[in-house]
Structure 1
Amino acid sequence: MLLVILLFSMAGGDWGSHPGVWGYKQIQDRQEPVVPLCPSPCQCEEDGIFMTVDCSEMGLPSVPLNLSPLTTYLDLSMNNISEIQPRAFHRLHLLSELRISGNQLRYISGQALQGLHNLKVLMLQNNQLERLPDDAPWDLPNLLSLRLDANLLSEVPAEAFRGVRSLRHLWLDDNSLTEIPVMALDSLPSLQAMTLALNQITHIPDYAFTNLSALVVLHLHNNHIQSMSSRCFEGLQSLETLDLNYNDLQEFPVAIRTLSKLQELGFHNNN
């Protein structure tokens, strides 16, 4: 019994009641908050427990590796990124906005955006994208806004938008499209606004937008549209704004008469 008392006395008094006592510091260490990482040379701001990360115009050749899982906003625009590795963002489950515009990307696989189930805004404009994934499309179930403008897309595969069915705003302008991506658009029943302007489209076939009953705004200006089938706008029950300026239409399209909610029509500078 005396031996036990001596051992406690050598330990410094009551166990666990003072910072210098055995066991206290281990518990204290476990309770210290984890400091979110900010990859160099990016700039980070804390928003409560979350973080916004600005890596724009830093000359980065690739996506930073040590991004905090608490990141909700990430700007990688205006860098030198030419490839995104598979699972590059797989830890960023809370990310809601991702900007990768103004880089040198030619292709982004479905695996590259894996894990971004909370993403709502994806900006990919001003890259060099030549194609979109088909067999393994992007799985972004909560995406609302997608910018693909100012790229080099000549076609949109039929299954390209299968994983973004909640999409509401789509930019496909300033590419090299020669036709309406009818099959791909069939996967976007929630779409509200879309631009296909500044392409090389020459004809709009029947039922080109048949599944876009929620679409309110459609821009088709600055193409080479010469003809429109009589039922090409079938299904556009909510369309209010249609821009057909700067095309090669010889006469007023009969198909426009089917747009019962149309409020604004652009038709100037046609031949």
Structure 2
Amino acid sequence: MTNRMKTACLFGGQGSQYIGMGQEFYEADEDCRRLFNIASEVMGYDMAELCFYGEEETFQHEIYSLPSTLTIDLCAFTLAVKRGFSFQAVAGFSLGEYAALAAAQVVSVRDSFELVKQLVAASHSVLREGFYSMAAVNLPAEMCDMMCSHIHSGYVKVANYSSKKQVTIAGNRKGLEAFSQIANEFGGKVMPIRVNRPFHCKLMEPAAAIYKEEIQSVPFADPSIPVYMNVTGEMETNADQIKVNIVQQLYSPVLWVHTLENMHLAGVGRYVECGLRSVLCRMVRDTLGITREQTVFLRTG
């Protein structure tokens, strides 16, 4: 790897929360404590209490799982910068896109939590918990797309094109059950994700319409470093278009494979993952075929 290679920061999404996450660095780093405090002020509950001493089932609810994930993502980024990492590009997987926008100074840290708060409120206003979910599938994307197109009992679509070896599906219970039956026939494994909303598919369009109106007053700025967006997989430099994209992300699939390929073409040779668990590093290696030495995971305690 040459000195000319660019380094990208990747932010993980929800689904990997655990009790005690972030506690080590909260206790050791003042800036991390500040991030927790901002999250608590915006969300209206004690973020540290939730992350360190809460109950596992609490994280099944987006009002807790989404903001807590954002908190940990931003703590990891703060520590990465303190450790001397310099980033020439950022991208976030699903919810991680909000951390990427804060890291690139598109929105303030406080506003990143405000955006997530409004996202949760919009989602809850139109979709009931318990009727929808998401799941990871270890089958090729083309096969999963084909399987979804043949399901007429319920609704299910590919929501995240995660890597060359895995996708995420989203839909209602009937659709997910039908998909699981077909996937089993092809030797696929369907692994439920701890979410109660079908993010990144058309079932979220009513929520997106509400969300769009609620975030109109949130200021967006042109990014200080290149940001790659979920809905296009491409770099975006215009603040207004980024706001459009973040709304569309609610009901559009995450084009993560396309994102990684475009970063690679732009000269990115090292990928630093900031998040809860080392998930994106594996996706990078599976998609780009790069070495383990070119991916770095920063644990957050």
Q: Common fold, TM-score beyond 0.5? A: no
| Higher normalized helix content (fraction of residues) | 2
Larger Rg: 1
By relative contact order (CA 8 Å, sep 6+), the higher-ranking structure is: 2
TM-score range, shorter chain: under 0.3
The TM-score with structure 1 as length reference comes to 0.21
